[in-house]
Structure 1
Amino acid sequence: MKPIKFPSAQTILLIIAGLVTLLTWLVPAGKYQTLSYNKETNLFTQIGIDTTTTLPATQKTLQALNIKIPLDKFTNGDIYKPINIPDTYQELEARPQGFYDFVKSPVKGIIEAADIIFLVLIIGGLIGIINSTGAFDAGISWLANALKGREFILIILVTTLVAAGGTTFGFAEETIAFFPILIPVFLAAKYDAMVGIACIFLGSSIGTMCSTINPFSTIIASDAAGISWTTGLWGRVFMLIACLTIALIYIIKYGKRVQKDPTQSIIYDQQQQIAALFTQSNTKTIQFTSRLRLSLIVFALCFIIMIYGVVALEWWFVEMTATFLVGAILIGFIAKIKETDFIDTFVKGAGDLLGVALIIGIARGVTVIMADGLISDTLLHYASALTTGMNKGVFASAMTAIYAGLSFFIPSSSGMAVLTMPIMSPLADSVGIGREIVVNAYQYGLGLFYFINPTGLILASLAVVKVGFDKWLKFIMPLFVVLIVFTLIVMTVSSYI
């Protein structure tokens, strides 16, 4: 009898999509009214179930709607998405999703996630081009020799830098680009691929979980809660340092164990498969010519320019994708790759990440089913009612758990903030604590569940390296439990300070 094999990422997501489809038959449909600001007309638009009303953009209008957010948060663009209006939840006629809706959801998800999907495919093409030149292999060989005996520096450096990106500008989807680039470096340092996955994914996850100045979570959530984003900042800085330190200790200990005895690797049975995936079959020594050096410089500049554009120029997926496309073309010219060879290599590189792109689309399809079934706001309404009558400490921990649960259905940090904060943040007033506790609960709950959330980026990240979700769960669970306990202790203590 053959052992039962853990399902692929695509199958897991389709199972989840099927369960969510069934959920639309069990959870009542409902919706909050929303409010959005129109910069051109300087007016608010209130959208109800069957009505659309235009209101003057004044603080008095916000007060009348029980929205305790300063007007300038809307007018200066801090809040740019429609927000839910408190106390306007209304049950609607059920809109259960059927088999046909389930079948269409991955297609709709792929269409909705087209921006990030094209980013992933173009990055795949760029990596195919740089690999074909041999420049990347030569650079990895040099780095491995330079770090010999001090490989732990690589763990600290990569994890810390990625976390810095996460805490400042929400470095998350962009990390997909770094797996094919950095995994070979970790393999050359005698680690397994799990160490590389952990450094990149956990670094990003902890950075975004403990966001300090991230405009897509901390700032937009604080604005939607009606408080300054600097309120509670030092507590988040403490959490960032503490959680990052815990994660680094865990990864380094695991990495040293694998270096001493490769059979201790959780993915030891895939060692040869992964090594073949990330190393070139051509074993001859490649001369590190000026052309190869220039190719690597252009390759590195693509990522530097991308990060600068996101942070300083308000770039998003279209601009990032264009940057990588231009980089691939420039490297093709520098390395004197023939036009037909360039196209074939680029398409093959993009094809290598097509599975990742499909995972992203299917995951988005789960969100599409919930939106079409009108159950997202119902879950939020029920969640907000759970905290009635709680004491401070229990409230802080319960709110963290609630946000962790909601993040399965609303994996977007900015989407979660604008939809939930106007509803959840006033609950802090009723138990006598600061609203920054709710903002922190939102960040920590969302961030903790993100480690294992199949509707987030973890399945797409694992697919790049061909590692199963079951292997990841085996690796992450001890650290996950430690961080949950630590976070709940911090939240409980902070609610009484």
Structure 2
Amino acid sequence: MKKKFSFPSAYTVILIVLFLVLVLTYFIPAGKYATLGYEAENQEFVITQPDGESSKEPATQKTLDKYKVNTNLEKFTNGDVYKPVAIPGSYEELQREKRTLFSALKEFLSAPVQGLAQSIDIITFVLILGGIIGVINKTGAFNAGMNSLSRKLQGKEKWLIILTLTLIAIGGTTFGFAEETIAFYPILIPIFMAAGYDALVAIATIYLGSSIGTLASTINPFSIVIASNTAGINFTDGIGLRLAMLIIGTIMSIWYTVRYAERVRKNPAESLVYDQKDELEEKYLKSNSDEEIPVFDLRKKLMLIIFAAGFGVMVYGVKELGWLFVEISSLFLLITFIIAALSGLKEKEFVSEFVTGASDLLGVALIIGLARGVTIIMENGMISDTLMYWLSNSVSGMHGPVFTTMMYFIYILLGFFIPSSSGLAVLSMPIMAPLADVVNVDRALVIDAYNWGQGIISYVAPTGLVLASLEMVDVTFDKWLKFVWKLMVATIIVSIVLLAIGVFL
């Protein structure tokens, strides 16, 4: 009997991508742009040549003009542009060290290890989060709360999708709410499933909310603001078009998700993960199947309130205080101690449940590290700048909507290889933004093409967050592709149309 094909796991998908990127480094020449960075301590610019040699020059507008970096000096001195930017016209091909089969194997094996080391902050957060969830599950607080919520939501289930997706999209568009959403999956999956939906609805609601929010960033400092500053324009330029993208994209994502969710609720066989129905229900809904649902008493309510309040504090810290994952992990460690006191569990039982909960998310932590390994291979192979050089040359003679459309597809490609929004902004804007002047197009449209192109590829790029998110929900990559591809095509069409409208405004 012929064996049915089984789509590979997220780990294998990332390793395949890592291997393919490594192969690309043997065919794409190594090269780099010179960069200009601001040194606040000495109030000087540091110019780093492609070969690594550096020199210092006065931090003046004259120096920026000399290197054709069309950005106001104030943007560097006040910290708006905090990463070194590429210097236009400075690209040079570089000679790579001769590599043997052994050195290639070493690079392939060491990249995931380095990726884990460089991702330790977010990995720590994920493990602490898993530990807290393990403890709360043991007390029965989630089951009791879920039972209470599902009774209240009867007949209004779709509003859970509408409100959650909208709020996450607002977080994405304002302050780049992305990696932090990993925290919501273990909480929302059981709630969505109890409402009659499948696990895919949970990832659609959370991941699409984050993706459309960051794609249509309006005031996101990690993408729109730094890209605008680097391009030499105000981040409010073209904000009307971005608001249009945000509203249209959010409505499309909500309609698409609700339509699928309601179809599944009425007929579970319509689910794209129907073959996993029993397995997922066993994991998320029947953890206490042999026990009576616990009473939703004051202790359990307090635990859930404190846990939920942690996310509010996290959002405030990230948005207003500039918190990174060290601060976020510290916050949730504090919540761990508070819940330890409230849980009523003995010390050894608490520690055991915390470790068990952390181990449940270990797979997610490993995927985050592996995905970072792909970026390390590219950095070591020095091919990002070469791709930028080739693609900027290919678009330089185009005009009008053809220019904006090609720019959009260029950023889709670059976004696959460079998942960091701020990293792509400082690499590309000094090169791409001036091309808009040549063809008489507003520079804000180049920024829109950058943000929308990088945003749409994040829906499926294994180098981003999608595989870690899928691992949280136990859904394979092929099922997600089958679910999301039509929405992606529709969003691409809307993006191209809005960019074309922008040309004629």
TM range, normalised to the smaller chain?
Answer: over 0.9
Alpha-carbon distance between aligned partners in 1 of 2:36 and 2:415, rounded to the nearest angstrom: 22
State the shift of 1:110 in Å. 0.7
**Counterpart secondary structure, 1:452:** coil
Alpha-carbon distance between aligned partners in 2 of 1:301 and 1:46, rounded to the nearest angstrom: 45
Alpha-carbon distance between aligned partners in 2 of 1:123 and 1:130, rounded to the nearest angstrom: 11
Alpha-carbon distance between aligned partners in 1 of 2:52 and 2:366, rounded to the nearest angstrom: 35
Alpha-carbon distance between aligned partners in 1 of 2:338 and 2:267, rounded to the nearest angstrom: 42
Is the contact made by 1:403 and 1:445 (CA closer than 8 Å) also made in structure 2? Answer: yes
Root-mean-square deviation (CA, aligned residues, Å) is 1.0
Q: Which residue number in structure 2 is paired with residue 51 of structure 1?
A: 53
Alpha-carbon distance between aligned partners in 1 of 2:338 and 2:30, rounded to the nearest angstrom: 52
Q: Which residue number in structure 2 is paired with residue 80 of structure 1?
A: 82
Q: C-alpha offsets along residues 217-236 of structure 1, whole Å, 9 cap, x if unaligned?
A: 11111111110000011110
1:281 is aligned to 2:288: yes
Is the contact made by 2:133 and 2:357 (CA closer than 8 Å) also made in structure 1? Answer: yes
Q: Which residue number in structure 2 is paired with residue 3 of structure 1?
A: 4
Alpha-carbon distance between aligned partners in 2 of 1:82 and 1:117, rounded to the nearest angstrom: 27
Alpha-carbon distance between aligned partners in 1 of 2:125 and 2:52, rounded to the nearest angstrom: 37
**Counterpart secondary structure, 2:79:** coil
Q: Return the TM-score normalized by structure 2.
A: 0.97
Is the contact made by 2:143 and 2:293 (CA closer than 8 Å) also made in structure 1? Answer: no
The residue correspondences of 1:9-158 to structure 2 (distance < 5 A) are: 9-48=10-49, 49-95=51-97, 98-158=104-164
Q: C-alpha offsets along residues 85-137 of structure 1, whole Å, 9 cap, x if unaligned?
A: 11100000034561110111100111111111111111111111111111111
Counterpart pick for 2:206 among 200, 210, 213: 200
Alpha-carbon distance between aligned partners in 2 of 1:277 and 1:62, rounded to the nearest angstrom: 58
**Counterpart secondary structure, 2:395:** coil
Counterpart pick for 1:465 among 462, 473, 480: 473
Q: C-alpha offsets along residues 261-294 of structure 1, whole Å, 9 cap, x if unaligned?
A: 0000000000111112213224312112211111
Alpha-carbon distance between aligned partners in 1 of 2:426 and 2:143, rounded to the nearest angstrom: 45
The residue correspondences of 1:244-255 to structure 2 (distance < 5 A) are: 244-255=250-261
Is the contact made by 1:130 and 1:299 (CA closer than 8 Å) also made in structure 2? Answer: no
Alpha-carbon distance between aligned partners in 1 of 2:126 and 2:424, rounded to the nearest angstrom: 24
State the shift of 1:181 in Å. 0.6
State the shift of 1:336 in Å. 2.1
Alpha-carbon distance between aligned partners in 1 of 2:243 and 2:469, rounded to the nearest angstrom: 27
Alpha-carbon distance between aligned partners in 2 of 1:360 and 1:257, rounded to the nearest angstrom: 32
Alpha-carbon distance between aligned partners in 2 of 1:344 and 1:73, rounded to the nearest angstrom: 50
State the shift of 1:391 in Å. 1.4
Q: C-alpha offsets along residues 386-421 of structure 1, whole Å, 9 cap, x if unaligned?
A: 102111101101111101100111001111111111
The residue correspondences of 1:452-491 to structure 2 (distance < 5 A) are: 452-491=460-499
Alpha-carbon distance between aligned partners in 1 of 2:312 and 2:254, rounded to the nearest angstrom: 24
Q: Which amino acid aligns with 1:451?
A: Y
Q: Which residue number in structure 2 is paired with residue 430 of structure 1?
A: 438
Q: Which amino acid aligns with 2:61?
A: Q
State the shift of 1:490 in Å. 1.2
Q: Which amino acid aligns with 1:328?
A: T
1:160 is aligned to 2:166: yes
**Counterpart secondary structure, 2:36:** strand
Is the contact made by 1:35 and 1:47 (CA closer than 8 Å) also made in structure 2? Answer: yes
Q: C-alpha offsets along residues 190-236 of structure 1, whole Å, 9 cap, x if unaligned?
A: 01111111000000000000011111111111111110000011110
Q: C-alpha offsets along residues 360-382 of structure 1, whole Å, 9 cap, x if unaligned?
A: 11111011011001111101111
Alpha-carbon distance between aligned partners in 1 of 2:126 and 2:89, rounded to the nearest angstrom: 41
Q: Which amino acid aligns with 2:81?
A: I
Alpha-carbon distance between aligned partners in 2 of 1:379 and 1:100, rounded to the nearest angstrom: 24
Q: Which residue number in structure 2 is paired with residue 345 of structure 1?
A: 353
Is the contact made by 2:241 and 2:498 (CA closer than 8 Å) also made in structure 1? Answer: no
State the shift of 1:20 in Å. 0.8
Alpha-carbon distance between aligned partners in 1 of 2:164 and 2:252, rounded to the nearest angstrom: 15
Shifted more, 391-400 versus 200-209: the winner is 391-400
State the shift of 1:40 in Å. 1.1
Alpha-carbon distance between aligned partners in 2 of 1:114 and 1:384, rounded to the nearest angstrom: 35
Structure 1 runs not aligned, ≥5 long:
none
Alpha-carbon distance between aligned partners in 2 of 1:285 and 1:432, rounded to the nearest angstrom: 66
Is the contact made by 1:160 and 1:203 (CA closer than 8 Å) also made in structure 2? Answer: yes
Alpha-carbon distance between aligned partners in 1 of 2:499 and 2:224, rounded to the nearest angstrom: 16
Aligned residue pairs, count:
497
**Counterpart secondary structure, 1:69:** coil
Alpha-carbon distance between aligned partners in 2 of 1:117 and 1:383, rounded to the nearest angstrom: 34
State the shift of 1:439 in Å. 0.5
Alpha-carbon distance between aligned partners in 2 of 1:3 and 1:162, rounded to the nearest angstrom: 38
**Counterpart secondary structure, 1:98:** helix
State the shift of 1:50 in Å. 3.9
1:395 is aligned to 2:403: yes
Alpha-carbon distance between aligned partners in 2 of 1:493 and 1:237, rounded to the nearest angstrom: 14
1:375 is aligned to 2:383: yes
State the shift of 1:344 in Å. 1.0
**Counterpart secondary structure, 1:45:** strand
Alpha-carbon distance between aligned partners in 2 of 1:114 and 1:284, rounded to the nearest angstrom: 39
Alpha-carbon distance between aligned partners in 1 of 2:293 and 2:33, rounded to the nearest angstrom: 64
Alpha-carbon distance between aligned partners in 2 of 1:140 and 1:59, rounded to the nearest angstrom: 59
State the shift of 1:83 in Å. 1.1
Alpha-carbon distance between aligned partners in 1 of 2:293 and 2:216, rounded to the nearest angstrom: 44
Alpha-carbon distance between aligned partners in 2 of 1:125 and 1:419, rounded to the nearest angstrom: 38
**Counterpart secondary structure, 2:403:** helix
Q: Which amino acid aligns with 1:5?
A: S
Shifted more, 207-216 versus 332-341: the winner is 332-341
Q: C-alpha offsets along residues 216-262 of structure 1, whole Å, 9 cap, x if unaligned?
A: 11111111111000001111011100011111111111111111100
Alpha-carbon distance between aligned partners in 2 of 1:267 and 1:477, rounded to the nearest angstrom: 16
**Counterpart secondary structure, 1:26:** coil
**Counterpart secondary structure, 1:25:** coil
Alpha-carbon distance between aligned partners in 1 of 2:160 and 2:297, rounded to the nearest angstrom: 26
Counterpart pick for 1:272 among 273, 278, 282: 278
Alpha-carbon distance between aligned partners in 1 of 2:373 and 2:293, rounded to the nearest angstrom: 46
